[in-house]
Amino acid sequence: MQASTSLASAVDGQRFWKDLEAQAQIGALSPRGLQRLALDDQDNLARAWLIEQGDALGCSAHYDAMGNVFLRREGLDPTLAPLLIGSHLDSQPNGGAYDGTLGVVAGLAVLRTLVEQGITHARPVEVVSWTNEEGARFAPGASGSAWFTGRRDAEMILTAQDDDGLTFKAALADCLTLLEAHGAHFRTEPVMPHAFLELHIEQGPVLEEQGAPVCVVTGIQGVNWYEVEVHGQANHAGTTPEAMRCDAFMGAHAMVGALKAAVAEHDDQVRFTIGKFTVSPSSVNTIPNQARFTIDLRHPDAAVLEALDAAFQQLAQREWSGCTAQLKATSQVAPVAFDDTLVSVLDEAVQAHCPKAPRLVSGAFHDAIHLAHLCPTAMLFTPCRAGISHHPDEHIERADAEVAVRTLTHAVEQLLITRSHENDADN
């Protein structure tokens, strides 16, 4: 790589913020917020925008069988494994403009800086937008990165359905057609990364409370997702005595209380969330015969998750208010610790821009949780106001974001310099 006094200082912060604002207009809601559900029209337009930006920089665009999009700036030796940077562009329903998007646009800013400064580097650099990280439309989430890393098979992903019964496979077909129309090239085989970096908003309050614009992330806590069905008996709401009812809602209510009690037996790092809850037949004067709900369970210790999984399975075998229950694990992702060497590189970059920054473990899952099983991986966080995310009020300060993207660029520069002359096999 050509010598550079400080590639980070060359980042065009104004253009970076302009790109972030442009992305925020794709799928924008009124009066605020964003909705780009995985593989919908707005999500696909966001990917097309990314391809157009890469084309303007002279980068080639590629996509794979799951719709993951890659912008590639070639290295002096195209046979070397690429340094991969990115995140995702899909959002939650009525979500925010920075979750995921920040990491993709930050990667684009790194590419733009390399191009504008005329920097040459031995290995290629690629920016990626992973498909369906959120899992809001097609569960479970992180489909693109899980498939890319061999953590989930294609059939499981392609057969997933949204709430309208449309399959992932059908939605993906429209996406791939659009990507091809915008000049992206199909990759028949995944390209093994040399390393993966992801910048993301913290989605928590720690950095804002400490006044730190950026920090290094050392790992991600594990995540278990479940679907629960409680089966009762529908009957007339006005004529059925309480003692003769098999009310699926009441059964679910009792079961949720027991699940919460099981969680309370462990430390306060457990995160237990019921994000969806429905009853059938959903009539005001009919006792529900079925209740369905989801569970999102998280903890940084795999042993705690295993213990709670066993407890949940046992509770599902009991009757609840005369109703039976079924519990199905839809996704189980173990905690990960990021690569020590890569964390050290990021930590050095962070200290150069924010000497008092803490180190954090991510409470939210990210695509990096899967990449960590494939190649050296690490993350950076930047604060979001009041720790709010997955909501229209999600907000980041421009000054913080610029420090974060400069920190990312600083780390990329160090990685490309220190490893450009390595004579390894790039396994």
As averages over each run of 10 residues, the pLDDT of the chain (427 residues) reads 67 98 98 96 98 98 98 97 98 97 98 96 98 96 96 96 98 98 94 97 97 97 95 98 97 98 96 97 98 96 97 98 97 92 97 96 93 98 97 98 98 80 43
Compute the distance between CA of residue 125 and CA of residue 115 in angstroms, rounded to an integer: 11
Cα separation, 309 vs 305, in Å, equals 6
Both tokens of 422, joined, read: 């390595």
Q: How many domains does the chain have?
A: 2
The answer to whether 37 and 94 have CB atoms below 8 angstroms apart is: no
H or E stretch at 222 = strand 222-231
Pair 234, 377 in one domain? no
Q: List, in sequence order, every residue forming a beta bridge with 333; answer none if it has no partner.
A: 223
The answer on 41 and 78 residing in a single domain is yes
Residue 208 within any structural domain of the chain: yes
DSSP one-letter code for 244: G
Residue 2 lies in a domain: no
Q: Are residues 186 and 158 in the same domain?
A: yes
What is the pLDDT, as a whole number, of residue 419? Answer: 47
Helical H segments across 30-129, by residue range: 41-56, 101-116
Q: Do residues 321 and 181 both lie within one domain?
A: no
Asked if residue 50 belongs to a domain, the reply is yes
Domain termination residue (choose one: 280, 305, 333): 333
Same domain, 93 and 137: yes
Query: Looking at the chain, how many residues does it have?
Result: 427
d(CA 193, CA 374): 8
Q: Is residue 427 part of a domain?
A: no
In a domain, 167, yes or no: yes
Q: How many CA atoms lie within 13 A of 350 on its CB side?
A: 25
Q: At what angle do helices 101-116 and 398-419 cross, to 10 degrees?
A: 60
Report CA torsion sign: 41, 43, 46, 51: negative
Verify that 58 and 163 share a domain, yes or no: yes
Identify whether residues 213 and 230 lie together within a single domain.
no
Q: Which CATH number do you get for residue 309?
A: 3.30.70.360
Same domain, yes or no, for 210 and 240? no
User: What is the distance, to the nearest Å, from the Cα of residue 223 to the centroid of all Cα atoms in its chain?
Assistant: 12
Domain limit, last residue, from 292, 308, 333: 333
Same domain, residue pair 375 and 413: yes
Residues 54 and 75 in one domain: yes
Query: What six digits make up the tokens of 228?
Result: 């629960």
Looking at residue 423, its pLDDT comes to 40
* pTM across the whole model: 0.84
Dist CA 36 CA 138 (whole Å): 13
Residue 76 lies in a domain: yes
Indicate the residue among 268, 300, 333 that finishes a domain. Answer: 333
301 and 168 housed in the same domain? no
Q: Return phi, psi of residue 339, to 5°.
A: -60, 125
* Residue 369's CATH number: 3.40.630.10
Structural domain boundaries, residue 189: 8-221+335-419
Residues 39/139, Cβ–Cβ less than 8 Å: no
In a domain, 178, yes or no: yes
